[in-house]
Structure formats: structure tokens, C-alpha cells
Amino acid sequence: MMGSARFFAESHQEIAEVVRTMNIDHKAFERKLAPCEIKRCGGNCCHDGATLLPTEVEPLMNLLYELGEDLEVGIPKGVDPIDRNAEGVWKTASIASSMSARIADYPQHFPNTKCVFLEESGVCRLQRKAMNEGRDAWEYKPFTCWMHPLSIGREMGTGRHLLTLRHEDNDPQRRDEYPGFVCHTHCGRTSDSGEPAYRVLQTELQHLGEIGERDVLGEIVRWAERLTPETNVSHRSYLRD
């Protein structure tokens, strides 16, 4: 699954350098999650648009210019699909949508908005376009979209990049008046009946490893399963079907 590396070539070069040298918060991936179910969650992780890497902006702008109305269906006139927010961060725009009416168990503190590229069905229009063209499903999806709920931040003490999975106690967007983001989305919240995150998120972890030419998934599985370094964890018995 390397299609998006072709479309976002520059950003993937940057990501690759990070992946090769980052530390991994192994303990975080033992937390249990439920698999993503679009029909159930409605894409609630996309309610506020997507944060973009600076190097993702131009490719997406060019894509919009080339496709015109094909991608802009449902976007209100006067709304820039991609723009800087008040903090100067590039994001895809969010527009009003009755998310709480359509999605069961929609977090009460999430606003009734959605990314301009999110269809009412919960499917990303960028992803649908790629699949209709016979491309990899993530060909046109920004890094923070297909990575969710994973995140790469800085490790306290060392300052090195750290691959982790934020939880209820360390969600970076948690404030007194806002309980958090990642840990409240359907695929990021703890699920007692779920499976360890490294199994649920194996596709994302494997894709991340492919970008950086590092066996990220294998490293996490070996640590979690207490396997020897020589164990071939690509065998399906170690992974979720």
C-alpha cells in the first residue's frame, strides 16, 4: 500500500526520515480498540477537517484545480476547501452537518460539522476517487487522515520523534472545557471488548513502515507477543484477519 507515496512524494520523504529514527511507545499499543466501522461511526474523526503537512497543500490544490466540480460537489459556494486556520495551520475546511443526528454515540462535545470531503455516508470523497480510478485507497488522503488514531510527537526527555497512541489521560487536545479528540473518536476510544491496538491498526502500522522502510508492525508485535527478533511476524497467525 504505497500509492500515496507517489502523490505526496515530498511529504513522504520527510515522513520516511522520521519513521527510520523514531522511538515507539510499545506499551500504548496494548490498549484495546474496536475496528473502524464506517457505517457505525460515520467518519466522526473527520468532523473538524484534516490538518495538512505544508508539503501536502500544493498537491491537493492541484488536484482540486484539475477536477473542479467533480470533487467540489456538496461544498458551499464561498468556502475554500483548503485554507489556513486562525493559528496559521493548513487544514481542509469543515462545514455544517447533522453529525449527531446521523451517528449513534456521537461525542457531545464534538461540533455538528464535517470535513468538506466527507460524504454523508462517512466515506471520504478523496478515497472514493482513488478507488474509482483503480488506485490505492489512500492515494490522495493526507497523512493525518490515514494515520488516525496513531500520532507521532516528541518524546519527553529525549526530544526524539515518538510513535504512540494517545489515550484518555494524555490526549493533547484535552482541556477543562474539551475532554479531548483522539480518545473520543469511535476508533480511538478504549474498548474493553476490542483487541490490542497493534492488531486493529496493523494496516496503518504496516503502511507507515513501508514509507520508512522499517518493520514498524513487526517491532511492535514482537514486543507485545514477547517474541524473538528472528520471528517472522508477517505470518497471519500473529495478525488480525
Domain membership of residue 132 as a residue range:
3-238
pLDDT digits (tens, 9 = 90+) for 92-147: 999 999 999 999 899 999 999 999 999 988 999 899 989 999 999 999 999 999 99
pLDDT in the model for residue 78? 81
d(CA 8, CA 54) in angstroms, rounded, equals: 11
Length of the chain: 241
DSSP state of 135: S
Residue of 53, 31, 3, 83 whose CA lies nearest to 195: 31
pLDDT digits (tens, 9 = 90+) for 192-201: 999 999 999 9
Number of structural domains (the chain) is 1
Confidence class for position 235, pLDDT limits 50, 70, 90: very low
∠ Cα 128 95 56 (to 5°): 55
